[in-house]
Amino acid sequence: MDLLLNDVQLGMLYHTKKKNSIYGIYNSQVVIEWNEHVDLITLQETWDYLSQTYEVLRSYLKNDSTMTFADRMSPKIKVIHQQDASASELNKILKQLFSQPIDLYTPPLFNLTLLRVDDNLSYFVWTHHHILLSASSVTEIMTAMFRY
């Protein structure tokens, strides 16, 4: 199934392509701090489930006016070990993750990162392009993630 981009999405695409040297112009980022051990296998299974349940997470641009959907997708979670990082070091990493380019023509239109500071402190970082999701959709997916 293909969908035509709406006017807002077309505007985001135009400005993203126009400012292609400035990554992150329409990126959004959710950061969750976990003060306990995070099992990577369970987190990966959760995002596999979410990607199959929420079609929007499998969407990508077929061309400059049409969005389409991958049949199946298993988004990979990048793990960064940053033992005993200071707040300023963590902020620097978060900014780098935020500014990474997201290829709108190749799914997924988001990046998942688990930033491990120690055995009982991790940050889960979900960076996505706003052409993919609105704030209410992000809330729905985050709620589903914690319920899984």
CA 16/CA 131 separation, integer angstroms = 10
Mean pLDDT over each residue of the chain, to the nearest integer: 92
**Beta carbons of 28 and 110 less than 8 angstroms apart:** no
Q: Which domains does the chain have, with CATH numbers?
A: 3-19+28-147 (3.30.559.10)
- Give 22-57 pLDDT, tens digit per residue: 456 889 999 999 999 999 999 999 999 999 999 999
Would you say residue 135 has pLDDT above 90? no
pLDDT at 23: 56
**Beta carbons of 25 and 15 less than 8 angstroms apart:** yes
Q: What is the mean pLDDT of residues 94-107?
A: 91
The per-residue DSSP string of 14-50 comes to: HHHHHTTTSTTTTEEEEEEEESS---HHHHHHHHHHH
Radius of gyration of the chain (CA): 16
Calculate what percentage of the chain has a pLDDT beyond 70. Answer: 97
pLDDT at 99: 87
pLDDT at 147: 94
Dihedral sign, CA of 144, 49, 45, 128? Answer: negative
User: Is the model's pTM score more than 0.85?
Assistant: yes
Would you say residue 14 has pLDDT above 70? yes
